[in-house]
Amino acid sequence: MPDQSHFLSVQILGIVFSVFLSSTVFFLVKNKRIQEKYSILWFLISGFVLIISVFRDFMEWFSNFIGIYYAPSALFAILISCAYMLLLNTSISISTLKKQNKNLIQEMGLLKLKVEELEKKLRESEEKLSI
């Protein structure tokens, strides 16, 4: 069985990781490298890591509450769920951007056609005036 210093070092590592993740996401939002709506999930993950790092017994209680009797398995399941949420969020963003890109390309094509038609009419009117 691990000694108390091992648990303390894991707690400190979890707290440091959580603070690092929160500050990194904060600075990414501040520098407009990530939008606020996408940062919320990262802040939630960071907060969860902080809670389970500070309150070791919380993970035991939570894993028993959801019906998993081995706390590291529950933590692993939660982290996988968070990864799936991030992937879903990214898929939604990509789909939205793809639709917007398609609409912009179609609009640009129509505008290009109109410009070409106007240039053709302008050339024709200039030719009529020069004759």
Q: What are the boundaries of each domain within the chain? A: 4-98
Residue 34: CB atoms within 10 A of its CB come to 15
**Using an 8 Å Cβ cutoff, are 82 and 41 in contact?**
yes
Q: Return the pLDDT at 3.
A: 62
Q: Return the pLDDT at 70.
A: 84
Tell me the average pLDDT of the chain: 88
Q: Which helix (H) or strand (E) holds 87?
A: helix 71-130
Least confident of 1-10, 35-44, 92-101: 1-10
Interval 85-112: pLDDT, tens = 889 988 998 999 999 999 999 999 999 9
CA separation for the pair 37, 116 (Å, rounded): 41
